[in-house]
A and B are shown apart, each in its own frame.
Chain A
Amino acid sequence: MDAFRISNLVKKYGSVVAVDDLSLAVPSGSMFGFLGPNGSGKSTTIGCLTGLLDPTAGAIEILGQPFDTNSIGLKRRMGVMPETLGLFEPLYAHEFLAFVGRMFGLDEATTRTRVSELLQALELTDSSKTLAEYSTGMRKRVAFAAAVIHSPEILFLDEPFESIDPAGVALMKQWLRRFTAQGRTVFITSHVLETVERLCDAVAIITRPGKLVWQGDISVLARDGAIAFDGQEFRALEPLFLHLTGQRYADLNWL
């Protein structure tokens, strides 16, 4: 079964086309990487998938049901870490997480235990600072905790690893593996191709403006295999990515 399916998704901001006729199906239980250069429409796609944005055209189906901004029941089964994190800066981490937990219908006792455990595990025990005073990496950890606190069935993570230290990344990867091992789905955008290569079973690559150029299984790479495309063999994700999205050379002679 598919965790979610996008058909012919179009999203325009005024006259700017951010996603153009994108179709994609992500199977349940997979760790799926969604890659593309800056401004190619990854965050916009996640926005449409999570109810932040209204698609201009196209259909989205999540866990077998049609999804739109008002699908409250489906939202309860999804966890999201948006690109801009979506934190309330004046709050303390535990207040923010407790708020999110309660909104997702956890009872008070469960909320308390989970918040404390998450804060402990993610080393966010400095409770004298508001979220505004946390470092970028710490804020990212809080946003990650908010995405998983209600143990969702699908996780949407927009650039989760960027600016988190190696120990944090290792911990998150371990959690995500366990997550998919239980048949749940993770959908990740990232620029760290090595991490994606080691973590994900399948990827989709898009280019500006939101056009799908390649989708497939990359588990062969982990077994020292190669991906054949355009009559070439690619032994790693990076050359494939650069081949698909176009390598650019610009020479600034003063730099």
Chain B
Amino acid sequence: MNFELVGHLIRLRYKLLWARTRSRNGRIALFIVGYLIFVLVLVLLGAGGLGAALVAVESGKALLVARIVLASLFLEMMLATVIMGFGLNAMFSDAELRRYPVGAIDRRVTRHLVALIDPFWFLGFALEAGLVLGLYLLGAGFLGVGLIAVVLLFVTNYLAARVFGVLVDRMMQQKIGSLLLMAAIFLVALGAGQVPLLLKRDPAAAAQAVRFLRFTPPFGAAAAITRSGFEAASGVVVVLCWLVALAAALVALERRPAQRQKLPTTAISFDSFYDRVGARFGGEDGPLVAHWLRFYTRNTRFRTLGLLSLPILGFLAYTMGRPHGPFGKLHGPFDSLFVAALGVFPLVGFLAPARFTVNQFGYVGGGFRRYFLLPTDAAAALRTGNYASILTGASMIVLAAIAWTVLAPGPWDGRMLFMLMASGIAGLFLFHGLGLWTSILGPRRGNYNQALGNDASVAGNVVLIGGAFGCVLAPHFLARFAPAWVSPDRWWIAAIPVALTLLFYVFSLRAASALFRQRHEQLMAVVEGRG
């Protein structure tokens, strides 16, 4: 291994990051503010870990609390990497690194170190380290072993996320793979509903399950943190085994190059579903809408998220909508699952195309200038891309409504369905209106084929993350402080956000089109890679 070169390359990544920050004046301030907030959050999370340790010791259930904290953190970090693409930016591709005189192992280590040294993973690590420290201070754990276990867990978490991402991405590129994946998701979605029933009927099965779970990384780490002697050592060994296995799986996956399914060489087909959908938008915009639909739906990342978003959001609604969960107290007389679903529905129509919606032109590359050579209002490209994204989002909302009707427990209530749909549609308009603005004001050149990682701009991420958190949390607090907004008895109130967001959307469409014509040269420079 050539450590010096690897070090240079890792520093180069941060130099590039800094160069991008420096290119505009206000960004430095933003950077510093962001950094301060990051440190603050780290401290908070560390304190949260300490608090958890306190609870663990006081309740006398250190192992149980550690298991729950570590396992939910592990899963949440995985989810966040899939939904938002956090923590998987490798920055350099293997092909790019081949330009430098470094060997295959060095290249692999560089890429993964760059991705691992990401603020996102430190957030989780802060919480875990806080937990270890707390347990140690309260005399219920060992610092050395605990820290080792947590560091191993942190790397394992990264590797698991990466392996999962690569695996899903590879499957999505093959017809059979996507079918298998779809079937698996379907089974998991149906099965997840059955698990609590099964456990209730057969308590012995729960004990059996825990015995199995001991061999998962978070449970292993929990044992290492809270136990001593043989138990602690075997906990560390469990995590270590996972780490080695996942690393090996990752290397194996990366060695096998992705194979895109090829079209048969003959027959060129012109007639397509997209063209027929586009035709509904009339002769002017029709071909452009079809073009954008094709552009989105051909993208593996879009397809993956389209497939995963419903189960993931269903899971999110389920965890946030437990009557005895952290938000349960806020729900008062309302059905907890329904309140949580109200917050999740706005994301349904947005998650799959999100990366494109907030950065409309970031992935068209050199094709950007083509829009100005076509005999049409240039802003039509902006509008139609947004329409196409809305179309895909709207179909996801329909699917989600069907899923709710089929899967939600309790008697069917048309008012609830109306409110959920309204919430989804309001989210659709809100996010797409905001996306028009971030596409023009915060563009960023991205890689169409990049399957993992978050490559939205600062503005795009503010809309994405801020919007997602806002929407998901809002109904819980509304249920407590403004119950009329979530009450099925006043279902018609749900039409108000739809009307307001529609207004905002129409306004944005007009104003952003004018702004787009004005700023198209700056956009061209960024999007085509000269900004």
Residues of A whose CB lies within 8 Å of any CB of B are 50-54, 69-70, 72-73, 75-76, 80, 82, 84-92, 94-95, 98-100, 102-105, 108, 111-112, 115-116, 119, 126-128
Contacts and interface: CB of A to CB of B under 8 A. Distances in A.
B372 A51 contact: yes
B287 A99 contact: yes
B377 A72 contact: yes
Given A70-B517, A102-B286, 4 more contacts: A52-B524, A94-B270, A103-B374, A108-B270
29 contacts: A51-B372, A52-B373, A70-B377, A70-B378, A72-B377, A75-B373, A82-B370, A85-B366, A86-B366, A86-B367, A86-B368, A86-B373, A90-B298, A90-B299, A94-B268, A100-B370, A102-B286, A103-B376, A108-B270, A111-B270, A112-B270, A115-B268, A115-B270, A116-B268, A119-B268, A127-B263, A127-B266, A128-B264, A128-B265
Contacts, number: 96
- Interface size class on chain B is 35 or more
A99 B517 contact: no
A53 B295 CA distance: 25
Given A94-B268, A112-B270, A86 B369 contact: yes
Contacts of B128: none
B471 to A, nearest CB: 30
Contacts of A127: 263, 265-266, 268
Nearest to B525: A13
Contacts of B374: 75, 100, 103-104
Contacts of A80: 373
A95 B294 contact: yes
Given A89-B448, A90-B299, A52 B372 contact: yes
A51 B263 contact: no
Interface string B473-505: 000000000000000000000000000000000
A103 B369 contact: no
Query: Which of A51, A73, A102 has the most chain B CB within a 10 Å cutoff?
Result: A102
B231 interface: no
A109 to B, nearest CB: 10
B509 to A, nearest CB: 18
Interface in B118-171: none
A52 to B, nearest CB: 5
A72 B380 CA distance: 12
A40 B288 CA distance: 35
A115 B271 CA distance: 13
Interface in B442-467: 448
Interface string B260-290: 0011111010100000000000010011101
